[in-house]
Structure 1
Amino acid sequence: ELNVKVERQALEFIAEVCEGDARRALNALEVGALTTPKNAKGEIVFDLAVAQESIQKKQVNYDRDGDQHYDTASAFIKSMRGSDPDAAIYWMAKMIYAGEDARFIARRIVICASEDVGNADPRALLIANAALQASEFVGMPEARIILAQAVVYIACAPKSNASYLAIDNALDAVKNKRVQEVPVHLKDASYKSAEKLGRGEGYKYAHGFEGHYVDQDYLTINEKFYEPTDQGFEKEMKERLRNLKKGAS
């Protein structure tokens, strides 16, 4: 149940503009109630400014805290993931038109940039984060342009969820398998008595070797969490890792 406080001036404005059209008046009230954020007291204040804005808008089936909110956000994210810039822009437009918080939209863009683009195009996360900061700086309605630029870039970028899968697989290993101890040669040896305890013994400093790489065990178990794809820049990363291992063998 919505806690809506309608100011008299707003009602008078709607009554005057709607000229007896009850359906139009009710639509304006509903649009205003569903698209106006709550104040600190949890109230939706329907004042003259809200009335003037609502009377110009057609009703959009969108509830800020219910299924329509999450369904539209889901369609938005999946459209970016699916490399469809037109669909992604449309679902974002629906959210903006319905009064969605720009920060909510920007956060979804940042998440998608990392989860679905990842290292296939590392610039995607930089652009998404820049859009988050810039949209907060300029505010609406101009923020829509900034958000749209980021959405189009991410939708058109090559896709990889390899980093997302890597951390989830590693978390699963920590949770469900024996937790590994840090190997002696990787332990902190920065304090005075560390050498006496054998901490750090046998560690090979990568920068002291050709190519700034040396074959060394960094994990005591034979687990592979990160599986780079052949998408975008990640293909170069995959090739580099392969060459490092080949040169060390």
Structure 2
Amino acid sequence: DALLPYVENGNFKIIGATTENPSYSIINPLLSRIKLCYLEKLSDYEIKKLLTDTIKNKDHGIENLQKTITDDLLEIITNYSGGDARFALNSLEICLNHANNTNTNLTKKNIEEILEKNIYYDKSDDYHYHLISAFIKSMRGSDPNAAIYYLARMIAGGENPEFIARRLIIFASEDIGLANPQALNLATSTLYAVKNIGMPESRIILAETTIYLASSQKSNSSYKSIDLALSHVKNSPDEKIPIHLLNPITELDNQKNFGKNYNYPHDFPGNFVKENYLPEKIKNKIFYEPKEVGIEKSIKDRISKLWDS
């Protein structure tokens, strides 16, 4: 905010670099006044060349190189780096320091053990959002194998298991909904379990729920219905409630006929009576359209039987 007026009047020229996504970390008014240049991740070839050059450079490379590191071991670091030069260089230094400090030779096994503790996963950058997006879309696409894979990547990278559990709750409601209401109960229980159990056992709880949600029948009718209703309310926020639905609390309310001619459903066969509950102007408006899938099919059948007969 403080920079905005100076950028607008031309007093400031900003040149910056960041590992953060500017769409999340810079306010929109300032973002619209600057030009963004995106740097792509380095290729495996570029990462490996960087590591090789670092080892060979005696003046500006790794200091006190006491252990040799073979080409195939550099390949492992390259594969773990995710195209990030900083991570690759830090990993190289960590591996060499470990070998020097423990007086052991570097092997495929100990390099992988070291790197798995420092696996590339920045919870504040695009990578974080890309993984959770792939995770959600895999479940939405009913692919439990892909969903488990992305879950594993998040867990291995140190993602907060409670964050994952919360996203499972949102998914259960948004993408499964009334096709299988039990999904929301399971996802909610997952958050409780993860909070009380902790890692590493929570990985099993998250995996169980992920597989169940990915394999479940899907419906987004709840999501669509509330958004449709909210959109209508935004444009017409104060439509008159039918007078028979108003609760008469005072004598004045009775004089205004609040609640008059209200039909109490439990006084009728099947605990149902056709009644107009929406404001008069939108009495035929449809917000909820049930889908013919899972448990929601029985909901659709019942609603159709009640209202279309």
How far does the alpha carbon of each residue in 1:20-76 deviate from its partner, in whole angstroms, 9 at most, with x for none? 57987821888xxxxxxxxxxxxxxxxxxxxxx982517644211111000000000
Contact 1:158 1:232 in 2 (8 A): yes
Contact 1:118 1:125 in 2 (8 A): yes
CA–CA distance in structure 1, aligned partners of residues 221 and 159 of structure 2: 31
CA–CA distance in structure 1, aligned partners of residues 263 and 68 of structure 2: 80
For 1:85, the aligned partner's letter is P
Aligned equivalent of 1:27, options 68, 91, 106: 91
Contact 1:85 1:155 in 2 (8 A): yes
Matches within 5 A, 1:17-166: 20=67, 26-27=90-91, 55=114, 57=116, 60-166=119-225
CA–CA distance in structure 2, aligned partners of residues 68 and 176 of structure 1: 38
Structure 1 residues 61 and 26: CA distance shift in structure 2, 3 A: closer
Where does residue 240 of structure 2 map in the other structure?
A: 181
- Whichever of the two has the greater Rg, that structure is 2
Aligned equivalent of 1:230, options 278, 292, 305: 292
For 1:27, the aligned partner's letter is S
Structure 1 residues 97 and 179: CA distance shift in structure 2, 3 A: same
CA–CA distance in structure 1, aligned partners of residues 129 and 277 of structure 2: 42
CA–CA distance in structure 1, aligned partners of residues 249 and 113 of structure 2: 64
CA–CA distance in structure 2, aligned partners of residues 173 and 129 of structure 1: 30
CA–CA distance in structure 1, aligned partners of residues 171 and 250 of structure 2: 42
CA–CA distance in structure 2, aligned partners of residues 226 and 237 of structure 1: 11
Contact 2:176 2:183 in 1 (8 A): yes
Say which SS state the counterpart of residue 116 (structure 2) adopts. coil
Contact 2:290 2:299 in 1 (8 A): yes
Where does residue 38 of structure 1 map in the other structure?
A: none
How far does the alpha carbon of each residue in 1:168-220 deviate from its partner, in whole angstroms, 9 at most, with x for none? 00000011236312111111224454322211111111111111110000002
Contact 1:207 1:213 in 2 (8 A): yes
Where does residue 304 of structure 2 map in the other structure?
A: 242
Query: Which sections of structure 1, spanning at least 5 residues, go unmatched?
Result: 3-17, 31-52
Where does residue 168 of structure 1 map in the other structure?
A: 227
For CA contacts below 8 A with separation 6 or more, give which structure has more relative contact order.
1
Query: Which sections of structure 2, spanning at least 5 residues, go unmatched?
Result: 1-17, 20-64, 78-88, 95-111
Where does residue 107 of structure 2 map in the other structure?
A: none
Corresponding pairs, count? 211
Could you state the TM-score of these two structures normalised by the residue count of structure 2?
A: 0.63
CA–CA distance in structure 2, aligned partners of residues 108 and 230 of structure 1: 26
For 1:26, the aligned partner's letter is N
Contact 1:29 1:54 in 2 (8 A): no
Could you state the TM-score of these two structures normalised by the residue count of structure 1?
A: 0.77
CA–CA distance in structure 2, aligned partners of residues 103 and 231 of structure 1: 30
CA–CA distance in structure 1, aligned partners of residues 261 and 114 of structure 2: 74
Contact 1:61 1:68 in 2 (8 A): no
Say which SS state the counterpart of residue 195 (structure 1) adopts. helix
